[in-house]
A and B are shown apart, each in its own frame.
Chain A
Amino acid sequence: MTMKTVFEKTTGLTDNQTHYCPGCTHGIIHRMVGEVLEEMGILEDTVGVASVGCSVLSYEYFNCDMTQAAHGRAPAVATGIKRVLPDRFVFTYQGDGDLASIGIAEAVHAAARGENITVIFVNNAIYGMTGGQMAPTTLVGQKTATTPFGRDGSIQGLPIRVSEMLSTLDGTAYIERVSTHDVPNIVKAKKAIRKAFETQKQGLGFSMVEILSSCPTNWGLDPNESLDWIKDNMVPAYPLGVYKDSQKGGVR
Chain B
Amino acid sequence: MGKVLMKGNEVIAEAAVHAGCKYFFGYPITPQSELVAYMVRRLPEVGGLFLQAESEVAAINMVYGAAGTGVRVMTSSSSPGFSLKQEGISYLVGAELPALIVNVVRGGPGLGNIQPAQSDYFQVTKGGGHGDYHTPVLAPSTLQEIIDLTEAAFDIADQYRTPVILLGDGMLGQMMEPVEFKELTERDPEQKEWATTGTRGDGKPRIISSLELNADALEKRNELLQEKFAMIKQNEVRYDTFETEDADYIVTAYGTAARIAMNAINKARKDGLKIGMIRPITLWPFPEQPFIETRDRVKGYLSVEMSAGQMVEDVRLAVEGRAPVSFFGRTGGVVPTQEEIYDQIIKLAGGVEV
Which residues of A are in contact with B by a Cβ distance under 8 Å?
14, 43-47, 49-50, 56-57, 59-60, 62-70, 73, 76-85, 88-89, 105-106, 108-109
Q: Does B198 contact A (CB under 8 A)?
A: yes
Q: Are A83 and B62 in contact (CB under 8 A)?
A: yes
Q: How far is the CA of A109 from the CA of B58 in the complex (A)?
A: 9
Q: How far is the CA of A212 from the CA of B43 in the complex (A)?
A: 42
Q: Does B337 contact A (CB under 8 A)?
A: no
Separation in Å of the B314 CB from the closest CB of chain A? 30
> What are the 8 A-B residue pairs with the smallest beta carbon separation, nearest first?
A80-B65, A68-B209, A76-B61, A77-B65, A80-B66, A80-B62, A65-B196, A73-B61
CB-based nearest B residue for A45: B198
Knowing A77-B61, A80-B61, the reply to whether A68 touches B210 (Cβ < 8 A) is: yes
Q: Does B326 contact A (CB under 8 A)?
A: no
Chain B, interface size category, equals: 35 or more
CB-based nearest B residue for A19: B213
Q: Are A66 and B196 in contact (CB under 8 A)?
A: yes
Q: How far is the CA of A89 from the CA of B51 in the complex (A)?
A: 19
Knowing A46-B198, A65-B199, A76-B58, the reply to whether A81 touches B69 (Cβ < 8 A) is: yes
Q: Which residues of B contact A83 (CB under 8 A)?
A: 23, 49, 51, 62, 66
Q: Which of B87-95, B156-164, B243-251, B259-267 contacts A (4 or more CB under 8 A)?
A: B87-95
Separation in Å of the A66 CB from the closest CB of chain B? 5
Q: How far is the CA of A160 from the CA of B283 in the complex (A)?
A: 46
Q: How far is the CA of A78 from the CA of B25 in the complex (A)?
A: 13
Q: Which residues of A contact B55 (CB under 8 A)?
A: 105
Separation in Å of the B89 CB from the closest CB of chain A? 11
Q: Which residues of A contact B87 (CB under 8 A)?
A: 70
Q: Does B54 contact A (CB under 8 A)?
A: yes
Q: How far is the CA of A56 from the CA of B201 in the complex (A)?
A: 26
Among B87, B198, B210, residue most surrounded by chain A Cβ atoms (within 10 Å): B198
Q: Can you list 23 A-B pairs with a CB-CB distance of less than 8 A?
A: A47-B69, A64-B199, A65-B196, A65-B206, A65-B207, A66-B196, A66-B205, A66-B206, A67-B95, A67-B208, A68-B207, A69-B65, A73-B61, A76-B61, A76-B64, A79-B58, A79-B65, A80-B25, A80-B67, A81-B66, A85-B69, A106-B54, A109-B53
